[in-house]
């Protein structure tokens, strides 16, 4: 069975953010991830990790104005300096938190920006970030996201992402493979993960439809977990789903799919 991390942006939201670390540890998690740490000081978060014996598995680079609907700026030609400043900020946090990988959200393709220009900007930004992060001992990830939940999201399919990675040309850039997003966009989950296992550094899960717990939808998670075990996947799997009721009531899904 793979090792699991609680996504604190989506789980235990009944608690204030800093209290979710204890809630995750009490539920048996050894690792945590979340969207962003930047509303808190590194010391505040590090104290919660240490107090609860948790590993910081993942967080994202700064992604623009999230409250206003921005979902990353890495494909925005007019935001390159802001993106680079965000890389430095992410390195400061990841270093302080002992986090060995950070994810880049490509963003929604801006109006008036061609597909080619957006791709070129993303390639250049990923190349810059991969180099900076490698020097700091941190792995860069990037994640395709479905265009039903986020219309216009630039990076939205596995092969597209890997083609861009090839153009970037850095060994310090890997795929964050979100099972929920890729079920919506392309399906064929098990063969895709097998084909590209050496390029996948992190996996996330939710069921479809609804983005709720595994077992509530169409995805065969018992098969996928066994499949990943057979393939020898040794990374984390982040529980990035919306509990159908409360977090605690929904945690029992794992027993039902073992």
Q: Residue 155: is it exposed, middle or buried by C-beta count within 10 angstroms (0-12/13-18/19+)?
A: buried
CA distance 160 to 140: 17
Q: Any catalytic annotation for residue 249?
A: no
55: left (phi over 0), alpha (psi -120 to 50) or beta: beta
Question: Using the 8-state DSSP alphabet, how is residue 10 labeled?
Answer: T
For residue 172, give every residue at least 6 positions away whose Cβ sits within 8 Å of its Cβ, in sequence order, or none.
Answer: 130, 131, 133, 134, 139, 140
| 15 tagged catalytic | no
Quick one: which of 131, 36, 129, 146 has its CA closest to 75? 129
What Rg, from alpha-carbon coordinates, does the chain have? 17
In this structure, are strands 236-239 and 3-7 parallel, antiparallel, or unpaired?
parallel
- The DSSP element (H or E) to which 104 belongs, if any, is strand 101-104
Asked whether the beta carbons of 80 and 110 are under 8 A apart, the reply is: no
Specify the residue for token string 């999201």: 153
Q: Of 14, 33, 116, 143, which residue is the catalytic one?
A: 143
Instruction: Show the beta-strand stretches assigned E in the chain.
Output: 3-7, 31-33, 55-60, 101-104, 139-142, 173-178, 200-205, 236-239
- Cα-to-chain-centroid distance, residue 88: 19
Identify the active-site residue in 116, 167, 240, 249: 240
Q: Is 125 helix (H, G, I), strand (E, B) or coil?
A: helix
d(CA 42, CA 23): 19
Residues noted as catalytic: 143, 240
């Amino acid at each position: 069975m793979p090792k699991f991390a609680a996504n604190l942006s989506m789980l235990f939201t009944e608690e204030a953010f800093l209290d979710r670390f204890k809630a995750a540890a009490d539920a048996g998690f050894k690792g945590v991830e979340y969207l962003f740490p930047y509303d808190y000081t590194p010391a505040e978060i590090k104290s919660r990790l240490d107090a609860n014996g948790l590993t910081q598995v993942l967080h994202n680079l700064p992604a623009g104005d999230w409250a206003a609907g921005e979902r990353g700026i890495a494909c925005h030609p007019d935001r390159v300096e802001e993106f680079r400043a965000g890389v430095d900020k992410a390195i400061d946090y990841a270093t302080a938190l002992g986090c060995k990988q950070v994810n880049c959200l490509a963003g929604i393709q801006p109006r008036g920006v061609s597909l080619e220009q957006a791709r070129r900007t993303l390639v250049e930004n990923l190349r810059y970030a991969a180099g900076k992060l490698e020097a700091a001992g941190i792995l860069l990830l990037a994640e395709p996201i479905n265009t039903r939940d986020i219309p216009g999201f630039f990076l939205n399919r596995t092969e597209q992402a890997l083609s861009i990675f090839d153009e970037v040309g850095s060994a310090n850039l890997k795929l964050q493979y979100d099972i929920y997003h890729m079920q919506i966009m392309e399906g064929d989950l098990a063969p895709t993960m097998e084909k590209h296992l050496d390029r996948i550094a992190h996996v996330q899960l939710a069921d479809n439809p609804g983005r709720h717990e595994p077992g509530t939808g169409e995805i065969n998670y018992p098969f996928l977990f066994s499949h990943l075990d057979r393939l020898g996947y040794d990374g984390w799997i982040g529980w990035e789903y919306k509990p159908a009721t409360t977090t605690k009531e929904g945690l029992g899904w794992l027993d039902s799919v073992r």
